[in-house]
Structure 1
């Protein structure tokens, strides 16, 4: 029983010492505002959350998301090329690409993709 208690005390002391040493050596002395802020969305998290944002940025992000999903839908076409007749998977892939290209053309004609207005 004493051996188990002694092992517990030793492991507690070693882990506590490691936590203290890592805290002392990993402490940043200079906090840079730019490095401390998140960079994914471009918004400052320390200010109010009710600030207006650019709807153009949102629309470009949605168009990117559509084309990102398009890639994930088109990638399996290469895998089914051995199991399906070529006419079927080429026609399915071509019709899907035609629909996405028509959507891109519509976005372009509506000037949604123009960043500067």
Structure 2
């Protein structure tokens, strides 16, 4: 029975260290902010620092759906580039089957691009 409990000792030590470290990473910044005075707001601390002028709208305003469409299209074409680099490096080893699979992928991507273009997802008014 003692050997079974001894087998769990490294796991329990690991969990204990993880709990102590995670608690320290949460509590220590809060304690440091109390000592440095960042928890005492004043007008100078609350002023705009990124753009230099007060916000003219509510920060919870809804964005136009085109922002999301452009972001999704960017991610799609960014992933295409991420797939093309390793494919180009390994092309000598993967042979015709790898080349054909990438051509099918690029054709699907081109069809999707043409569809988005025809629907007007790339146009900005």
Whether these two folds match at TM > 0.5 is yes
SS at match of 2:112: helix
Return the match for 1:61 from 71, 74, 94: 71
The match for 2:83 is 73
CA-atom RMSD, angstroms? Answer: 3.0
1:37 to 2:46 alignment: no
Structure 2: gaps of 5 or more residues: 1-46
Offset at 1:54?
1.7
Q: Which residue of 2 aligns with 1:16?
A: none
Give the unaligned 5+ runs of structure 1. 1-31, 39-43
TM (norm. structure 2) is: 0.53
- 1:90 aligns with 99
Specify the alignment match of 2:36 in structure 1.
none
The alpha-carbon distance between structure 1 residues 47 and 104, as it changes in their structure 2 partners (threshold 3 A), is same
Aligned to 2:24: none
1:114 and 2:114 equivalent? Answer: no
User: Greater RCO between the two (CA within 8 Å, min separation 6)?
Assistant: 1
Change (3 A) 1:69 1:45: farther
The equivalent residue for 1:101 is 110
Q: Structure 1's 100 and 45: CA in aligned 2 closer, same or farther, altered over 3 A?
A: farther
Q: Which one has a larger percent helix, Structure 1 or Structure 2?
A: 2
Shift of residue 45, structure 1, vs aligned partner: 7.8
Aligned partners of 2:57 and 2:123: how far apart in 1? 29
